[in-house]
Structure 1
Amino acid sequence: MSHDSGNINDFGMDTISLAGPLEAKLQAVRNAGFTQIMLAAKDMVGHPEGIEAAVAAVRASGLRVTGFQVLRDFEGLSGHLHDYKIDIAKSMLEMCHMLGCRLLLICSSTSVHATGDNQTLVKDLRKLAMLAIPMNIRIAYEALSWGRTINEFPQAWDLICEADMPNLGLGFDSFHMFATNTPLADLDMLDPRKIFLVQLADFMWTEIKSVEERIATARHFRVFPGEGVHSEALAALVTRLHGLGYRGDYSFEVFNDDYQQMPLATVAARARRSALWLGEDVLRRSVPLPNQIRLKR
């Protein structure tokens, strides 16, 4: 591991960017100099030897678990659907706890069966936070840009403030902010202590014309920070968050079908280049032009 890896400790990879078995993903991330990894439920339940073996692999890797994802379509349901989702939430929290992970990511509901009533949404988020307290888990609530009611981070922030739970905070994803063109200035309303996770990704086009295209881009065509067309915006975002006082984790939330077909070490090296750009150039303020990043490394 080279001497400059210290600058990437604030940044972590996400298993969704990598193909192959969990152990190989963990090894590749570790070898690239990262100290943390974002895990998905399928990393656990999909392990051929079961959940305990997955937990053992994560522990053996020495990587810190940034967070566990993702609880979907949770809030705003009633009756049987609500009970069903509470069950799912308990199961996710249980797995999160087994990993020794302190953060569960939940993204805003896209369900047509969910109400848009604010009081109900607040009550549900509060209930989830309550369930997580005994396990010492924090809940990061993220606005999906195609969420049914909550689709921009200021709306998610309003619910979080109203729910007023110590372990409920914001999960922030740069992709969704760029997709909805939410103004950077809106970040100033946030309390940095209540931003629980920042996920970063870029993509290759400036404009997204429909919700369908937004979903397809988010799920298949993201790239690492510095690789897409929003490098300057990403640099401005990270600088703004730092200026606000955010000192938490940054995770690369990069869903990309091409990366799933590349050797793990190659993808991890791309992520490392991103982390070095953000950690050394952006946060130390000497921002190079994004198109020079690739040549330099």
Structure 2
Amino acid sequence: MRQSTMQRNVADFGMDTISLAGPLEAKLAAVKAAGFGQIMLAARDIVGHPQGIEAAVHAVRSSGLRVTGFQVLRDFEGLSGHLHSYKVDIAKQMILMARDLGAPVLLACSSTSSHATADAEAIARDLRKLALLALPHGIRVAFEGLSWGRHINEVHQAWAAVEQADCPNLGLAIDSYHQFATSTPLSALEDVDPEKIYLVQLSDFMWQETRTVQERIETARHFRVFPGEGVHSQALAELVRTLDGMGYQGDYSFEVFNDDYQQLPLPYVAQRAWNSALWLAEGVLQRAVPLPGHPRIKTLA
């Protein structure tokens, strides 16, 4: 059970390396200096390290930050023949990297491939296979419905696939951006088992809606902002309160793809993220007073 202290509440929130520019070590240092205790890792930060994967793993393990999870495996489910075999090989490598990093969760996004079948049994079979590949390594697989996914693009559809696959280490990832982009109501979460939610990713954006699939993709990949900075603050606050009320006790990670943030000093971007964590912990969950040295954040919703 969560402790009812501000420090524990803030500890529930973490950053994603994709929000920051620069080398891995600088990203880790900025995130920790801002006050965070956890980090969501992207594969490109690990394989792109100039000294190689072992050096990247050492940097992560030496940072003092807990690893939230590892991302992202794309377009895995619903393929057949040589395409399926190819993706199995990719998944095995992703799982091994997650294991070496001490990541408890591997994020897998719903397929966007035109070669993927809509057959629910085939999708469930593939997700079960992925989870079983991860099981011996102690890794859970969090399946997320991309808002532009070919057959699964809303959270209740992703949950239906997870339920049908019925594997002990397969669960759901919830991303606020995709929830808002598809205007999916909170009622879609009513049937979700909170113990099977393995990761919640939070972000906002600056306009009310994405009118085309291409705009949805462009916004997701380039124009997200931290919680409390966009126009969906109230909806995001309601989402977090709903998950908390359901009994979700896992991590919240800020997945903020933003081209502007990639051009700004790391401490500045990390501080913006920390302000969002304080807003959520204090202004939304409203459980305690601010930490010493951090001003009270005005509630945005």
Q: Using structure 1 for the length normalisation, give the TM-score.
A: 0.95
2: CA distance, partners of 1:66 / 1:179: 24
1:6 positional shift:
4.6
Distance 1:284 1:136, change over 3 A: same
> Which one of the candidate residues 84, 95, 98 is aligned to 1:96?
98
2: CA distance, partners of 1:191 / 1:170: 9
2: CA distance, partners of 1:58 / 1:98: 10
Report 1:256-295 matches (<5 A). 256-284=258-286
Give the conservation status (yes or no) of the 8 Å contact 2:203–2:225. Answer: yes
Q: Deviations over 1:171-206 (max 9, x none)?
A: 100000000000111111111000000000000000
1: CA distance, partners of 2:29 / 2:6: 19
> Which one of the candidate residues 48, 51, 61 is aligned to 1:49?
51
Moved over 3 A (4+): 3-7, 292-296
Counting aligned pairs with the same residue, the percent is 69
2: CA distance, partners of 1:136 / 1:6: 25
1:7 positional shift:
3.6
Report 1:1-297 matches (<5 A). 6-284=8-286
Helix, strand or coil at the partner of 1:214? helix
Q: Deviations over 1:15-74 (max 9, x none)?
A: 000000000000000000100000011111000000000000001101011000000000
Give the conservation status (yes or no) of the 8 Å contact 2:34–2:267. Answer: yes
Q: Using structure 2 for the length normalisation, give the TM-score.
A: 0.93
The count of residues paired between Structure 1 and Structure 2 equals 289
1: CA distance, partners of 2:82 / 2:160: 27
Give the conservation status (yes or no) of the 8 Å contact 1:226–1:293. Answer: no
Give the conservation status (yes or no) of the 8 Å contact 1:5–1:34. Answer: no
Equivalent position amino acid for 1:32 in 2 = A
Helix, strand or coil at the partner of 2:190? helix
2: CA distance, partners of 1:19 / 1:78: 37
Structure 2 unaligned blocks of 5 or more = 289-295
